[in-house]
């Protein structure tokens, strides 16, 4: 996407611009800039990056939060991969999560955004309704899941009229993940919709008008003209979808603490580190695995930022 011929020219311009601007800083400017940059940078480095690095270290220990740290090499990792039953189920569920969000949740959000971008009445009202699930907290979503899916008292089984052979939406480990994923899509769609709405509003209407004049129908206009201009936002939505799928946590935690078919990596980390178990070295090792997976996607995200930055 770069334009090679202009690169060298632009960079020389930048160098002179930089000299010019830095030269204009007064001493007071430099003090203010350094202080106000240093504070957030220090916060970020010490609270986010240093603690993450420390956890990577802890993942090679059997630290239990109280007694002295003993280094045990890669034993935690070995156990996670061999005898820790829930791990592989969690990996599978995280992947399912990613697939469903990517193939259903995100496209649905885009679809709603396109519809709401059609200069319709009450658009803000519709936006509000679709967005509502996003602002709900863990407790609300957990309760709603119980309300809808409860085998004996739930709304869904009553609606389906299956009082005689009720489906065990939350208890049957072969279907509960799908029931939960439906709720996740419910929540994710509004988020994606809002992001795309913002992107669509920024698309120059002249582009669309030109395409219509050229005889393109609505679908062609969207896929050939509008969608490609959304590329930056597509990348962001993609990364957000991936991160949401990897970080997914609260809904299963609210439903059954992430057990019996609803295991997720972040929940396993929480059960081991945060809970009474206090198996910190082991939990950190799961977290490091999660971290390593996230990093792949983080890199995609960052190359996009850097590339955009060059434009």
Partner 1 sequence: MSGTATAVPPAAKAAERPPARTNRRPVRPARIVLYTFLTVAALGWLAPLLFAVYASLRPYQETAKYGYLSLPRHLSLHYYSEAWTSAEMGKYFRNTLYIAVPAVLLTLFFASFVAFALSRYKIPGRKTLLVMFTAGNLLPPQVMVTPLYTVYTKIHLPYFMSSSGTLYDSYLGVIAIHVAFQTGFCVFVLYNYMRTIPHELTEAAIVDGASAWRQYWQVIMPLTRPALGALGTLEFTWIYNDFLWALVLMSSGDKLPVTSALNNLRGEFFTDYNLLAAGSVLVALPTLIVFFALQKQFVSGLTLGANKG
Partner 2 sequence: MNKSLPHQLPLMSRRSLLRGAVVGASAFAVPAALAACGSSSSGGSSGGSGTVNKNVSFGSNYSDAVPKKALGDVMAKFQTDKGFTVAVNTVDHNSFQENITRYLKGSPDDVFTWFAGYRMQYFAAQGLATPIDDVWQSIGSNYSDAFAKASTGQDGKKYFVPFYNYPWALFYRKSVWQAKGYQIPKTVDELKTLCAKMQADGLSPIGFADKDGWPAMGTFDQINMRMNGYDFHVNLMAGKQSWTDPKVKNVFSLWSSLLPYHQKGALGLTWQEAAQSLAAKKSGMYLLGSFVAQQFSATDLPDLDFFAFPQIDAQYGTDAVEAPIDGFMISKKAKNVAGAKELLKFLGSTDAQNIYLKTDPSDVGANSKVDTSAYNAIQKKSAEFIGAAKQISQFLDRDANPTFASTVAIPALQQFLNKPNDIDGLLKNMDAQAKTIYAGG
Between helices 75-82 and 280-310, what is the axis angle to 10°?
90
Which residues touch 277 (CB under 8 Å, ≥6 apart)?
A: 271, 283
Which of partner 2, partner 1, none does 112 bind, CB closer than 5 to 8 A by kind? partner 1
Q: Distance between terminal CA atoms of the chain?
A: 8
Considering the complex, what minimum distance in angstroms separates the CB of residue 36 from partner 2?
30
Q: For partner 1, which is the closer residue by CB, 103 or 115?
A: 115
Which of partner 2, partner 1, none does 135 bind, CB closer than 5 to 8 A by kind? partner 1
Q: For partner 1, which is the closer residue by CB, 174 or 188?
A: 188
Which of partner 1, partner 2, none does 173 bind, CB closer than 5 to 8 A by kind? partner 2
Please give the Cα distance from 52 to 301 (Å, whole number): 19
Please give the Cα distance from 222 to 220 (Å, whole number): 5
Considering the complex, what minimum distance in angstroms separates the CB of residue 281 from partner 1?
9
3-state secondary structure at position 263: coil
Residue whose C-alpha is closest to residue 282's, from 70, 51, 47, 89:
70
Which of partner 1, partner 2, none does 7 bind, CB closer than 5 to 8 A by kind? none
Considering the complex, what minimum distance in angstroms separates the CB of residue 66 from partner 2?
4
Can you read off the two tokens belonging to residue 274? 């945060």
Interaction site with partner 2 (CB under 8 A)? 61-62, 64-67, 70, 72, 75, 79, 83-86, 149-153, 166, 168-173, 176, 256-257, 259-260, 263, 271-272, 274-279, 281-282
Which of partner 2, partner 1, none does 215 bind, CB closer than 5 to 8 A by kind? none
Asked if 203 and 210 count as a contact pair (C-beta separation under 8 A), the reply is no
């Amino acid at each position: 996407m770069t334009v090679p011929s202009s690169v060298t020219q632009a960079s020389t311009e930048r160098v002179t611009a930089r000299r010019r601007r830095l030269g204009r800083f007064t001493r007071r400017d430099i003090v203010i800039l350094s202080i106000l940059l240093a504070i957030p940078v220090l916060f970020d480095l010490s609270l986010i990056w240093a603690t993450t690095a420390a956890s990577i270290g802890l993942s090679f220990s059997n630290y239990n939060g109280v007694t002295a740290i003993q280094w045990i090499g890669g034993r935690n990792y070995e156990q996670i991969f061999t005898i820790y039953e829930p791990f592989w189920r969690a990996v599978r569920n995280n992947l399912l999560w990613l697939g469903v969000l990517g193939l259903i949740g995100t496209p649905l959000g885009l679809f709603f955004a396109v519809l709401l971008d059609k200069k319709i009445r009450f658009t803000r009202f519709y936006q509000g309704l679709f967005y509502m699930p996003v602002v709900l907290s863990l407790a609300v979503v957990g309760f709603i899941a119980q309300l809808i899916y409860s085998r004996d008292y739930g709304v869904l089984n009553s609606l389906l009229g299956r009082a005689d052979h009720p489906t065990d939406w939350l208890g049957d480990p072969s279907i509960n993940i799908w029931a939960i994923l439906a709720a996740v899509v419910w929540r994710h769609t509004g988020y994606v919709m809002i992001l795309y709405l913002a992107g669509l509003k920024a698309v120059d209407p002249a582009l669309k008008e030109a395409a219509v004049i050229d005889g393109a129908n609505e679908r062609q206009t969207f896929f050939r003209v509008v969608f490609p201009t959304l590329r930056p936002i597509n990348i962001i939505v993609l990364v957000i979808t991936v991160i949401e799928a990897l970080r997914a946590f609260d809904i299963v935690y609210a439903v059954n603490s992430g057990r019996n078919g609803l295991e997720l990596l972040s929940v396993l980390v929480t059960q081991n580190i945060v809970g009474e178990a206090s198996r910190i070295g082991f939990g950190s090792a799961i977290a490091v695995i999660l971290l390593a997976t996230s990093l792949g996607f983080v890199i995609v995200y960052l190359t996009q930022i850097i590339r955009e930055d060059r434009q």
